[in-house]
Amino acid sequence: MNASAKINLKGYNLDELTAQMASLGKKPYRARQIYQWLYQKNATNWAQMTNISLALRTELAGLFDLNTLSLKNSMKSALDGSEKFLFELIDGNLIEAVYMPEERRRTVCLSSQAGCPVGCTFCATGIMGLKRNLSAGEIVDQLLFINAHIRQPVTNVVFMGMGEPFLNYENVMRAAQIFNSELGPELSARHITISTCGIIPGIKRFTAEDQRYKLAISLNATTDEQRNQIIPVNKKYKIADLLNTAKNYTRVSRRRVTFEYILIAGLNDTMADAHRLVAMLSPIPCKLNLIPYNANPQFPFRAPSEEHLNEFIREIYRAPFAVTVRRSKGLDIAAACGQLYVSGQIK
């Protein structure tokens, strides 16, 4: 078998690896060994799998590849220690992922697509358009590479990088399952967050399947008129329908949902917006993340002044749900919310 015909095992779950080994006449425990080497021990080549015989490793190396991406560049923030990784996929497409260290947790923000088809008007990734969905292996490899790069393993994963996760639903869920698996990185389901701009069919499927991962919804507006300006998909999935879908998710799952609200000066940051936001979200078991807009020279938007931001926050803090203000990390390396963008891949 020549190299171009090799199967890439990255992204295979344990059942699929077991089936592959069975097709070669190998025992099921071999699949468990390989699975653990791939996803827990960060093996990038067969030679590292020392509890497998040399003869078998040689045989497997001739049949299977293990890597889906390579590091093209990385940048570390001088402000907060965040690090942005630029990865090149086998077909030449480029994606970014961000590592964000904090005192008690280490979070990685993963991409689910090369580019993004949604075209939110405040987000740099949308300028790229959609190149393609990432495979489960390409999603998993982002975390594995970063885990191998840092001193202590990642504790939290957020699907908030390039792309809309619910437009690549199956591969995102497959990756999350690997992250959550006993022989994998062993991340708790409550430490894996999947964020959507409001793809209602995806939320409904997520609910019906009783997925245990956290759900976050980028709301970013209190009227359809506002939201239509910045999130084009709102023309198809209106705010009222989105909120009803989110409410049903909390009822069925008995879990609260997180709403993300990017504050943009003059667009969605008035006291009337604050009042509407409290009224809209109060009937839903939820948490609200307020995120001051991260300036980008490609867009006309700006963040509210600190004084106005504090006034908005004071009004929101009267709400019956939990409210946090999230200051984005990696601002000095264009790694913050809405800033991920690969300049060589414009549509």
Tell me the one-letter amino acid at 255.
R
Q: In the predicted model, is pLDDT for residue 289 greater than 60?
A: yes
What's the confidence (pLDDT) of residue 47? Answer: 96
Domain boundaries, the chain: 3-65, 69-333
CA distance 206 to 240: 19
What's the confidence (pLDDT) of residue 335? Answer: 45
The pTM of the full predicted model, rounded to 2 decimals, is: 0.92
Q: In the predicted model, is pLDDT for residue 181 greater than 60?
A: yes
Asked whether the beta carbons of 316 and 263 are under 8 A apart, the reply is no
- Distances in Å between the Cα of 175 and the Cα atoms of 99, 158, 172, 258, 281 are 17, 12, 5, 21, 30
Do 3-65 and 69-333 show the same overall fold? no
The third-level CATH classification (topology) of the domain covering 69-333 is: TIM Barrel (3.20.20)
C-alpha 107 chain-centroid distance: 11
What's the confidence (pLDDT) of residue 100? Answer: 93
Give yes or no: 337 in active site: yes
**Model confidence band, residue 5 (pLDDT cutoffs 50, 70, 90):** confident
CA distance 228 to 184: 41
User: 216-268, pLDDT tens digit by residue?
Assistant: 999 999 999 999 999 999 999 999 999 999 999 999 999 999 999 999 999 99
CA distance 250 to 114: 31
**Residue 325 or 39, more confident:** 39
What's the confidence (pLDDT) of residue 290? Answer: 94
- Phi/psi for 257 (5° steps) reads -110, 150
List 83, 96, 138, 164, catalytic entry: 96
Q: Please, what is the average pLDDT of the chain?
A: 91
What's the confidence (pLDDT) of residue 337? Answer: 55
CATH of 3-65, one of 1.10.150.530, 1.10.287.1260, 1.10.1740.10, 3.40.50.720: 1.10.150.530
**Model confidence band, residue 295 (pLDDT cutoffs 50, 70, 90):** confident
What's the confidence (pLDDT) of residue 30? Answer: 97
Asked whether the beta carbons of 149 and 133 are under 8 A apart, the reply is no
Q: Which residue has the tokens 């030449």?
A: 92
What's the confidence (pLDDT) of residue 121? Answer: 87
Q: In the predicted model, is pLDDT for residue 334 greater than 60?
A: no
Q: In the predicted model, is pLDDT for residue 122 greater than 90?
A: no
CA distance 134 to 161: 12
Residues 76-97 as b or e (16 or more Cβ within 10 Å = b): ebeebebbbbebebeeebbbbb
Q: Which residue has the tokens 């976050």?
A: 216
- Token digits of residue 109: 């923000």
User: 62-78, pLDDT tens digit by residue?
Assistant: 999 999 999 999 999 88
CA distance 276 to 182: 43
Give yes or no: 96 in active site: yes
Q: In the predicted model, is pLDDT for residue 341 greater than 80?
A: no
List 123, 197, 286, 337, catalytic entry: 337
Q: Of the given ranges (58-62, 234-238, 283-287, 303-307), which has the lowest mean pLDDT?
A: 303-307
User: 124-171, pLDDT tens digit by residue?
Assistant: 888 888 999 999 999 999 999 999 999 889 999 999 999 999 999 999
**Model confidence band, residue 3 (pLDDT cutoffs 50, 70, 90):** very low
Q: In the predicted model, is pLDDT for residue 191 greater than 80?
A: yes
CA distance 65 to 254: 41
What's the confidence (pLDDT) of residue 2? Answer: 47
- Phi/psi for 192 (5° steps) reads -120, 120
- Distances in Å between the Cα of 4 and the Cα atoms of 63, 90, 140, 227 are 10, 11, 22, 46
Q: In the predicted model, is pLDDT for residue 329 greater than 70?
A: no
CA distance 135 to 212: 21
